[in-house]
């Protein structure tokens, strides 16, 4: 009987992961499109976004451009470390976004 309970527990956890990932992607999109929070649309064209800017590159094919997720997290956290001349705000360093919010935005960006 314990083996059945363990199998049921693992099955429940495995089926809830995709929903959690979808939730993070949805939250990331909400933050990216929110003009008072992530505000990515001010500078970037993003599929599904209204009134995008063109200061930064269009955000497409992100997962192949940044296969290492940590690189993308670092860019959103503080792009000035990689490119001191950037106009992109350091969302993490300036506490515009929390680490959790940055991770959600990155989850969303990786779907583009």
**How does pLDDT run across 7-39, given as a tens digit for each residue?**
433 444 444 446 766 788 999 999 999 988 888
Cβ 56 vs Cβ 44: under 8 Å: yes
- pLDDT tens, position by position, 66-103: 999 999 999 999 999 999 999 999 999 999 999 999 99
The separation between CA 59 and the C-alpha centre of its own chain, rounded to angstroms, equals: 12
Q: pTM, whole model, 2 decimals?
A: 0.79
Q: What is the largest CA-CA distance in the chain?
A: 62
- Of the candidates 72, 36, 42, the one whose C-alpha atom is nearest the C-alpha of residue 55 is 42
């Amino acid at each position: 009987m314990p083996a059945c309970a363990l199998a049921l527990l693992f099955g429940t956890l495995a089926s809830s992961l995709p929903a959690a990932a979808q939730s993070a992607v949805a939250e990331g999109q909400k933050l990216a499109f929110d003009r008072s929070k992530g505000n990515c649309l001010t500078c970037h064209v993003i599929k599904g976004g209204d009134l995008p800017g063109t200061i930064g590159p269009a955000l497409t094919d992100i997962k192949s451009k940044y296969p290492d997720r940590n690189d993308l997290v670092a860019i959103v956290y503080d792009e000035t470390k990689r490119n001191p001349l950037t106009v992109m705000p350091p969302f993490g360093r300036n506490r515009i976004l929390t680490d959790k919010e940055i991770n959600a935005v990155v989850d969303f960006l990786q779907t583009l």
